[in-house]
Structure 1
């Protein structure tokens, strides 16, 4: 049986509707980095945190299809930050960590393989021109710690995306995100300046970072299916 890679996450990874284009989630391009012997199931959904993804039964929907030997990529954090919304907010030191462990245990209990991804960074620079290490708050570090505690493979996409933004600089890195002037696209007639959600180019670059991180992760059983 061909294994499946499931993506559980938020709008940074999710497939976008026609009315949202050219906004693109990185999960839409992960298929370019795997061979024909593995399937991609992008179950990421706009606006979800670990709390709301679980509460809405979205992990339960994955569990209905998940088979032994499948992989579960887990990336949240952006919406877990929304302290003003109790339906989504999680404390990075308590609830968020426990919720990540629910995802990990779900995959393992079904004979599958969980992978934790740190939150992809927002495009935010400090006054000295460096990517802001607090661009997604305490959530990337909490994810790293849960990975260490549970022995789960970690793909540090926060770190690699920040290095990408650093290499491009504050101005050139805008091309990775949804920055459009008024009148340039019918879906955004008034323009948009969004440093969280990706353009097609940005989604492609982040998907490449995810694939490279999988390729570099020691002992990961996904290696035979990658083409990086």
Structure 2
């Protein structure tokens, strides 16, 4: 499914205060901000709304981008110029075969090399990288089981994270487990943008659910960073 371009949140200026830590989000449309004209947003949109006063989140994720094209278009350089303290990196959906040579990366080779380079360059710029495995697509087989086309990319993230000693948020495995507990019909009702049967992107309300998953995992992997976020009660009640 072709990822559509998304409009990022308006908060895109460099971190103005030396006392505030800055997180920069890098990724595709499952991460990015609210769509201009429809009920659609990535999990980064919700995450930005839950920060405390001592941290800022800038979302540079853009729909349709892969670990290859985000760099080739100069977007990674722009993210580094923001001088972040932390960089969340999630790719995979558009690295898959069939997305075209300007985006594709094989999970066991090029994709891993791209992640390694992102990590190295983030560190060179004084930022702490955090890898995020790609959130699972909501595609079910006839027998009702969830199909998992992104597993090789998720496994590569885990391998590179261990190899280069960086934290990783296993959003793929977490989302797989959550979605396996519901039906295809329920997944459309709870997660798809209004009026669609989209099995990749999220409605605004679903963006909050997935951002909640990210924070659940962050509380385990990087608890000192998770403490900078406060989820509203109505979101907590959905757990």
TM-score (norm. length: structure 2):
0.83
Aligned to 2:64: 47
Residues 1:154 and 2:140 are matched in the alignment: no
Deviation readout 1:170-217 (Å, 9 max, x if unpaired): 22111211351xxxxxxxxxxx32100111121111011111111111
How many angstroms apart in 1 are the aligned matches of 2:205 and 2:178?
13
* Equivalent residue for 2:87, pick from 72, 87, 95: 72
Distance 1:76 1:90 in 2: 10
Structure 2: runs of 5 or more not aligned? 1-17, 232-239
Q: CA deviation at 1:7?
A: 0.5
Query: Which residue of 41, 56, 68 corresponds with 2:73?
Result: 56
1:198 is paired with a residue whose SS is coil
Query: Among residues 104, 115, 127, which one is paired with 2:119 in the alignment?
Result: 104
In the alignment, structure 1 residue 138 sits paired with structure 2 residue 155? no
User: Which residue pairs with 2:104 in the alignment?
Assistant: 89
> Aligned residue pairs: how many?
212
Residue 213 of structure 1: aligned partner: 217
Any conservation in 1 of the 2:31–2:42 contact (CA below 8 Å)?
A: yes
Give the deviation of 1:9 after TM superposition.
0.1
With over 3 angstroms needed to count, the CA separation of the structure-2 counterparts of 1:110 and 1:222, relative to structure 1, is same
* Partner secondary structure for residue 6 of structure 1: strand
Matched-pair contact (CA < 8 Å) for 1:33–1:208:
no
Matched, 1:169 2:183: yes
More strand by share: 1
Deviation of 1:103 after TM superposition, in Å, equals 1.3
Offset of 1:169 from its aligned partner?
2.8
Residue of structure 1 equivalent to 2:140 = 125
* Worse-matched range after superposition: 34-43 or 103-112: 103-112
Root-mean-square deviation (Å): 1.7
Runs of 4+ with deviation above 4 angstroms: none
TM-aligned CA deviation for residue 135 of structure 1 = 2.9
Asked if residue 199 in structure 1 is aligned to residue 203 in structure 2, the reply is: yes
Cα deviation, residue 84, structure 1: 4.8
Task: Decide which moves more: 29-38 or 204-213.
Answer: 29-38
Query: Using CA pairs below 8 Å that are at least 6 residues apart, which structure has the higher relative contact order?
Result: 1
For 1:188, the equivalent position in structure 2 comes to none
Which region of structure 1 is more displaced relative to structure 2, 93-102 or 75-84? 75-84
Contact 2:39 2:194 in 1 (8 A): no
